[in-house]
Every structure is written in structure tokens, then in C-alpha cells.
Amino acid sequence: MPDTFQQMLKAIQSFLIEEIYPLEEQLEAPFFSRLEPLLQEKRRIVKTKGWWCPQMPESYGGMGLNLIQLAQLSEILGTTPLGHYVFNCQAPDAGNMELLLEHGSEWQRTTFLEPLIAGKIRSCFSMTEPQNAGSNPTLMSTRAQLDNEWYTINGHKWFTSSADGASFAIVMALSQPDHPNPYQRASLFLVSTSNQGFEHKRNIPVMGSAGSGYISHAEIIYKNCKVPIAHRIGGDGAGFQLAQQRLGPGRIHHCMRWIGICERALDLMCRRAASRMLKTDKKLGDMQTIQNWIAESRVSIDACRLLVLDTAAKIESEGAKAAKVAISSIKFYVAGVMSQILDRAIQTHGALGVTDDLVLSFWYRHERGARIYDGPDEVHKSVLARNILKKYKDIAAS
């Protein structure tokens, strides 16, 4: 990367340490109502510095970074739970922006995408259902019935992330439930959260915290929710294909952020190891177990970074579909490394590690789901294993 880009990354890192890290003390719910005025002030600063929406084209007011550049920036933003939001590139908004930019109609981009990029509104993505396995999005019960240019949506969703305070949802529902091809049964719809048929039932408590604002997961009821045909994204039955196009880059975005979490956790672990006295002449860092954790964590993070950058390069050159196996590989590997490093960091801090005095406990609660959402570890491992075993198919025949 050019020196100017590296200098920008250093400036952003300093901004986060000085301006954003101190706000983490207010992370616990209902944090959003307390923090929102402060976060909006930080967002204005980010805009004036030209760091806004790094994943969006310059023509839409973003930075226009490619995926490799975004990977390096996202890692730095990931060192705090507030980083991506302050730069307006947080999930699920970032994925929804990319989806609308690529597949939205001109009216949809004007009505939904442009205010989303401007940071005037937030959005959510409503796909997962409590009664169906989330690992297989073709298993879906929510229906969208077309009648005279209007769809009526009925269904039950949960883990609709960031619905609390969002202005609209992108909803996946079966518009052609009897289509012989299960991958052509669903469509994607833009639904205003002010729609009378949209019911925000609750924020789902996750390990004791229901969260608020964009750090929350909602249960949603769609009851006779009516939307015009102009609110459908893409063609009828194109929902599965569009969702997969959205989720592929979304998975690599998560991995970029997780590396930042790993770096921050390792830094906290090393600071604790270097300062905590066990005896008059011994520090925690003198213990071989702690030294092993530090060494293994350092190498694991470096391996994750190289894998993610390599996958980003494949997506840039060949597209997300061609990089499917690589995306599955980093999804389970980086999630596993993050879980392990967070656990080591907490253990190194002892009782302090499980308190909310540190950001570690927040991540431990909220990031355990990393090995489940956007495809559980077991599914992604199966994708990789099946791809490897293709080379050995002739052995069974012989």
C-alpha cells in the first residue's frame, strides 16, 4: 500500500485510541441512548476528515477503497466495538448498501441507499427464522403473496440484527413457494419499520444482554405487512442468489473486524502480563504458560491476516463465487482464533477479565455467535472438506 494510505491508517488508529476507546465504558444497555449524541459528534469528525463510508464509491460520498485496502482499515476499526459505526461501515448496513448499490432500482437507491450512506438512517436484514435451520436459507416459512401489484408478507423472524431504531428492513420471504427449484422460491423486499404490519416484538437477550441500537438482535413479526412491487429488490425468486452475493463479502468483512478484536485482546493480555506482579520478583509474563499464549496468539493472528488478505485478493480478481471455498475457510478459522484469544486474554486478567471494566467481557458475550451466524463452523468446514475430497474421488472407484 502507498505511504499515504499507511499514514492514513495510523491517523485513524490514533483517532480511535484518543476519541473512541474512552466511550467503551458506556457500552452496556441501554448504551445507545446515552452514547448516540457523542457518536454522532464523532461521525461528523470522520466525515470532515474524508474517512466516511470507506466501502462505498467516491461518487456516493464514500472513500472508494478496494477490498484489500478495506481489510486493513477494517482491522483497525475492529479494535473497538464502536469503530465501524463511527465510520458508517457496520453490519448489517454495509452489506445492505452493497446490495442496493449493485441490485437496487434507481428509486430504491434514491429512497433507501442514499440516506443510508449519508448516515441519516440505519437498516437491518431479516432472514433467520426461529422454526427453521438458519444454516439452510432455502428452509423458510415467511410468505410474500402478490396481489394487484402489492405483496402481503406474513412470517416470524428473529436475530434481525440492528432492527432496534432501524428505518427499514430487507426481508427474505417466499414469493414462489411452489417453484420446483428451491433456490428460486424467495425474494428480497424493502420494508419500512413504520409499516403497520411490522412488529418489533423484542430485543433478544444474548448471554444476559438485550443490547440496544445497532448492537442488538430483534424478534420480528410480519403480519399482513403490505409493500408495493417496487419494494422488491431484483427479480421475483432472486432472493437466495442476491442474499448469497451479500453474505459472501459480508463474511470477509466479519473476518477483517475479528482480526482487530484479536489484536486488541492480545495487546490487553500483554499489558497485563507485563505489569501484574505475582511475587516480589515475578510478573505474570514470566510464567511459561502465559508466554505460550502470547506467542501462539501472535502467530495465529498473523496467519489469519494473510489468509484474509489472500481471500480478498481472490474476490477482487475472480469474484466472490470463485472464492467460495476460501471464504468458508477464513470464516471458521478466524472465528475460532478470535474465540481462543479472547478466552486467553480473560484468563490472563483473572477476575478483572470477566468484569465490564474491560471490553473483553463485552466481546466474549457478543462474539461467541461468530461461530454460528453467517453459516456455523460445521457447515463451512464441510464446504472445505468436500472440496478437498473431490481430488480423491477416483480412489473410491478403484
Q: What is the pLDDT of residues 150-175, one digit of tens each?
A: 999 999 999 999 999 999 999 999 99
Comma-separated ranges of CATH 1.20.140.10 domains in the chain: 241-391
Dump pLDDT digits (tens) for 100-109.
999 999 999 9
Dump pLDDT digits (tens) for 231-240.
999 999 999 9
Dump pLDDT digits (tens) for 8-54.
999 999 999 999 999 998 887 566 677 889 999 999 999 999 999 99
- Mean pLDDT, the chain, integer: 94
Q: Looking at residue 27, what is its pLDDT?
A: 80
Cβ atoms of residues 260 and 87 within 8 Å: no
* 62 pLDDT higher than 80: yes
pLDDT band at 110 (very low <50, low <70, confident <90, very high): very high
Does residue 190 sit in helix, strand or coil? strand
Comma-separated ranges of CATH 1.10.540.10 domains in the chain: 3-104
* 245 pLDDT higher than 90: no
3-state secondary structure 52-77: CCCCCCHHHCCCCCCHHHHHHHHHHH
The closest of 70, 74, 83 to 359, measured between CA atoms, is 83
Comma-separated ranges of CATH 2.40.110.10 domains in the chain: 123-233
Parallel/antiparallel/unpaired status of strands 123-126 and 168-174: parallel
Q: Which amino acid is at 145?
A: Q
Residue where the block lists cell 465490564 = 356
* 223-to-137, 195, 198, 201 alpha-carbon distances in Å: 21, 10, 7, 12
Give the domain 3-104 fold: Butyryl-Coa Dehydrogenase, subunit A; domain 1 (1.10.540)
Cβ atoms of residues 126 and 160 within 8 Å: yes
Specify the pTM.
Answer: 0.93
- DSSP track, 119-177: TS--EEEE---TTS-TT-TT----EEEEETTEEEEEEEEEEEET-TT-SEEEEEEESST
Q: Looking at residue 6, what is its pLDDT?
A: 95
Cis (ω within 30 of 0) for the bond into 30?
yes
Q: Looking at residue 270, what is its pLDDT?
A: 98
The closest of 197, 218, 220, 200 to 145, measured between CA atoms, is 197
Give the domain 123-233 fold: Butyryl-CoA Dehydrogenase, subunit A; domain 2 (2.40.110)
pLDDT band at 397 (very low <50, low <70, confident <90, very high): low
Burial 12-45 (b: 16+ CB within 10 A, else e): bbebbeebbeebbeebebebbeebeebbeebbee
* 269 pLDDT higher than 90: yes
Half-sphere exposure of 388 (CA within 13 A, CB side): 9
3-state helix, strand, coil in the chain (%, to 5): 55, 15, 30
Q: Looking at residue 31, what is its pLDDT?
A: 62
Q: How far apart are CA 102 and CA 208, in angstroms?
A: 38
Q: Which amino acid is at 152?
A: T
Cβ neighbourhood burial of 210 (10 Å; 0-12, 13-18, 19+): middle
Give the CATH superfamily of 241-391: Butyryl-CoA Dehydrogenase, subunit A, domain 3 (1.20.140.10)
pLDDT band at 133 (very low <50, low <70, confident <90, very high): confident
Residues 167-195 have a mean pLDDT of 97
- DSSP track, 267-285: HHHHHHHHH-EEETTEEGG
Under DSSP, the state recorded for 216 is -
